[in-house]
Amino acid sequence: MSFLNQLTTIIKYIALIGILAHILGEALPRKWFHWDRFPYRTFSWEREGRVYEAMGIRRWKDRLPDKSKHTKKTFTKQMKGHDSIDGLVRFLQETCVAELVHWCLLLLSFPLYSYVPTGFGAAVTVLYALSNLPFIFIQRYNRPRLQRLLNRKLSPQ
C-alpha cells in the first residue's frame, strides 16, 4: 500500500468514526448519564480534579478544539446561561456524554491499524488514541467543580 493510499485510508477512517461519534453523542438520552456513579464519578486518586491541575490543565484546556463552537445544535460548553440547577444538571450530563464519546474514539482508534498495518499506521493509531486523553481529562476535571457548584445551589442558605 502506497503512502498516499495509507493516508487516504487513515483520513477516511478517522472521519467516519468522528461522524459516528458525533451522531452517537447527540442521540444518547441524557437521563442515562449519572455523574455520581461509576464510571463518571470522581475517584479519590483524582483529588477533586487537583491531579489534572498538576498536569497544567488550566493552561491548555481552552486551547483544544470545541465542537460546540462549530455545531449549532450542540450544547455549548460555556457556563454562561447554564448556572441554574437544571442547567448544571445538563452540563454534568454533557460531561459524561463527552467522556464516553472520547473513550469510544480512543478504543476505536486501534482497529485503524488493521487497515494500515505498517509502522506509519501504528504511529497514527497510537497518536490518535492518545489525542483523546486530554478531552477525557477536561471532562473529569470539570465534573467535580460543576458538582460543587450544583451542591451549593441545592443546599439551603
Q: What is the pLDDT of residues 117-152, one digit of tens each?
A: 999 999 999 999 999 999 999 999 999 999 999 999
Range of the domain at 10: 3-154
* Angle between helix 119-131 and helix 133-154 axes, rounded to 10 deg: 10
pLDDT tens track for 73-111: 666 666 666 678 999 999 999 999 999 999 999 999 999
Reply yes or no on whether the pLDDT at 116 is more than 80.
Answer: yes
Instruction: Give the ranges where the chain is alpha helix by DSSP (H).
Output: 3-27, 50-54, 57-60, 85-108, 112-115, 119-131, 133-154
Q: What whole-number percentage of the chain has pLDDT above 90?
A: 83
The pTM assigned to this predicted structure is 0.89
Taking the C-alpha atoms of residue 6 and residue 92, their distance in angstroms, rounded to an integer, is: 39
How many degrees, rounded to 5, is the angle at CA 70 between CA 150 and CA 64? 70
Report the number of distinct structural domains present in the chain: 1
pLDDT on residue 70: 62
How buried is residue 39: exposed, middle or buried, by Cβ count under 10 Å (0-12/13-18/19+)? exposed
Taking the C-alpha atoms of residue 88 and residue 84, their distance in angstroms, rounded to an integer, is: 6
pLDDT on residue 1: 82
pLDDT on residue 128: 96
pLDDT band at 23 (very low <50, low <70, confident <90, very high): very high
